[in-house]
Amino acid sequence: MLCSTCHDIVDKNNGEAYTVEELSRLKAEHETWTAALRKAGQAWRMSYSSIDYLNVPRVAMLPGGDVVQQAAQRAGLDPTRPFSGQGFAPGMFVGTVRPVFESWRGHAVPLGEARLDTIRQGMYVAFNAPMRSRNVSNRPFPRPLTGTWQDDPYLSFRLGGRTVMIRYDPQWLTTTTAGTDLVSAATEQATYAGIGLVVGESADAIRISALFFGKPQTAEGAFMKYVIQGEDETVRMVSVDDFETGLSSHGSGSRLLGATRDSSSDDVTVALHFNELEVDPGQIQRETFRQLMRVVPEFRRDLTVAVGNLVTHSGLTGLPKPLDIAAAHLAGEPKVWSTHSINALGTLLADVEVAFALVRGVRRGQLDDLHQALLAESESYLGAVEVNLRRPTHQRFYGVSPRYRLIEADLRLLYSAKEYYGELGDWDHRPHELLDEWESEEIFKSVAWEEDKEQSAADERQAEEEMSGWLAMIDPDEAAAD
């Protein structure tokens, strides 16, 4: 079948002069191009063990790059000066900025063999590969650049019959160790991952100017780090497999380990995380509803949504540390889908006030698309995790009742009998102004009230228990007889 674009090409030519082969070629070319555009619209993320190179002024000019400049200022680093000569500040900066890239919102085209034909000058690309360093010396700090590839330092690797060349300015190498490692990479391959700008491409080479790069975190490295930092009770339930981050320049940045991805038709519950300090009242619902209606086909749409907050500060709640809460979220069996790694979620819970939209009934195969849609459209969206209420941690944080039901093109505001009758059972206590608010959004075909019968039954059971307890206090003998 042809898409609307290819149909338009044929229609404008009155259907003439296009053979089956030509139509197939047009279709293939258009699908390749649209795939590249989709990838260009995806947010790139990476879990690093070290940040080796970071051109702070250039990165700060990217959308979302202000967080890098803020991290530099918190570490006492002058972001307008090279790292060399700034004492301990660069080391502190690397430790501060490393988690930033696990929730990075910068967009880049993954540099993979299947997409080489779509790479053009001016694109931001993400790379992640074993590579060699060229034109390095034993004294990489500082070193004036000549402006020629023959003399200036760069990284290189082969991809799809072409040489990828990634140049960098040594004055923005973060530490002496980073420079030493690049010298070693001249004779022995080392894996680096990062983002750069394509400054030239030809039949035999792709030339890139690096913005930042570093060494990707391995599952073994992340596991050992957690074993040292984590609480004993949680450490006992984690394994190396739980630290396979899935965050790279390839794919969506989500993870589902120890299970087949072909459970795509299973209905699941997912918590969509948002920065609570960056949203207005009702904003989480609006952004969630709009993207659900884009991603989930109308004829399959029967979803419930609840909104809540993650209260995780151990000083206030007596809960474990954020990193241990993150491990309890993601580690163990059964495995859950998530856009977060354990380290990234731990950092998020420690640094950000997190609110969530809990969506029940979405298919697992739609989770990646929902994640990408929210990344593209919502500035406050942080990521997502599949929720399994059989997990004690998930039950503690996400055991909330649904407030909305999306069924096909309609919205239903859910209420229980307790909310309708109130504590005294005297009149309708539903906030009817909500109907007007959601109707004015013009998102849905219709908006109406609907009783949540499951919650009403739970409210009734709770009322009976409370009544029994009250009677027991008044007349213990009669309560015992009942």
pLDDT in tens, 211-232: 999 998 876 676 777 676 666 6
Instruction: Verify that 279 and 342 share a domain, yes or no.
Output: yes
In a domain, residue 65? The reply is yes
Q: How far apart are CA 324 and CA 314, in angstroms?
A: 11
Cα dist. 358→306, 326, 390, 401 in Å? 5, 17, 15, 9
Into how many domains does the chain fold?
4
Instruction: Verify that 383 and 290 share a domain, yes or no.
Output: yes
Instruction: Verify that 146 and 75 share a domain, yes or no.
Output: yes
Cβ-based burial of 228 (10 A; exposed 0-12, middle 13-18, buried ≥19): exposed
Q: Residue 426: its pLDDT value, please?
A: 58
Domain boundary (336, 369, 396) is at 396
The H or E element that residue 446 is part of is strand 446-451
Q: How far apart are CA 341 and CA 238, in angstroms?
A: 13
Q: Residue 134: its pLDDT value, please?
A: 93
Percent of the residues in the chain that have a pLDDT greater than 90, as a whole number = 32
In a domain, residue 222? The reply is no
Q: Give phi and psi for 275, each to the nearest 5.
A: -80, 110
Domain boundary (166, 189, 216) is at 216
In a domain, residue 403? The reply is no
Contacts of 237 (CB under 8 A, 6+ apart): 327, 328, 331, 332
Domain that holds residue 335: 228-396
Instruction: Verify that 310 and 380 share a domain, yes or no.
Output: yes
Instruction: Verify that 389 and 241 share a domain, yes or no.
Output: yes
Instruction: Verify that 273 and 323 share a domain, yes or no.
Output: yes
The dihedral of CA 18, 24, 26, 30: what is its sign? positive
Task: Give 112 or 234, the one with higher predicted confidence.
Answer: 112
Instruction: Verify that 280 and 235 share a domain, yes or no.
Output: yes
Neighbours of 339 (CB within 10 A): 31
Q: How far apart are CA 447 and CA 434, in angstroms?
A: 9
Q: Residue 259: its pLDDT value, please?
A: 43
Q: What is the pLDDT of residues 16-67, one digit of tens each?
A: 566 777 767 666 655 554 454 444 445 677 778 889 999 988 988 887 777 8
Instruction: Verify that 71 and 195 share a domain, yes or no.
Output: yes
Q: Where are the beta strands (DSSP E) in 342-419?
A: 354-363, 381-387, 404-407, 410-415
Q: Is the pTM of the predicted complex or chain greater than 0.85?
A: no
Q: Is 111 within 8 Å of 127 (Cβ atoms)?
A: yes
DSSP assignment string, 150-212: TTS-EEEEEETTEEEEEE--GGGB-SHHHHHHHHHTTTS-EEEEEEEEEEEE-SSEEEEEEEE
Output the six-digit token pair for 379. Answer: 């500035």
Mean pLDDT over the full length of the chain: 80
Task: Give 237 or 338, the one with higher predicted confidence.
Answer: 338
Mean pLDDT lowest among 192-206, 211-225, 413-427: 413-427
Q: Residue 340: its pLDDT value, please?
A: 87
Instruction: Verify that 424 and 392 share a domain, yes or no.
Output: no
Domain boundary (396, 431, 463) is at 396
Q: What is the pLDDT of residues 142-158, one digit of tens each?
A: 667 888 888 899 999 99
Instruction: Verify that 11 and 129 share a domain, yes or no.
Output: no
Q: Is 121 within 8 Å of 103 (Cβ atoms)?
A: no
Q: Residue 268: its pLDDT value, please?
A: 94
| Amino acid of residue 462 | Q
In a domain, residue 272? The reply is yes
Asked if the model's pLDDT at residue 105 lies above 90, the reply is: no
In a domain, residue 223? The reply is no
Q: Residue 26: its pLDDT value, please?
A: 64
Instruction: Verify that 237 and 385 share a domain, yes or no.
Output: yes
Q: What is the pLDDT of residues 348-398, one digit of tens each?
A: 888 788 999 999 999 999 999 999 899 888 989 999 999 999 888 899 999
Neighbours of 7 (CB within 10 A): 12
Output the six-digit token pair for 29. Answer: 């070319």
In a domain, residue 298? The reply is yes
Instruction: Verify that 249 and 322 share a domain, yes or no.
Output: yes
- Beta strand 154-159 pairing with 162-167: antiparallel
Q: Give phi and psi for 189, each to the nearest 5.
A: -55, 145
In a domain, residue 74? The reply is yes
Q: Residue 235: its pLDDT value, please?
A: 62
Asked if the model's pLDDT at residue 405 lies above 90, the reply is: yes
Q: Residue 254: its pLDDT value, please?
A: 54
In a domain, residue 376? The reply is yes
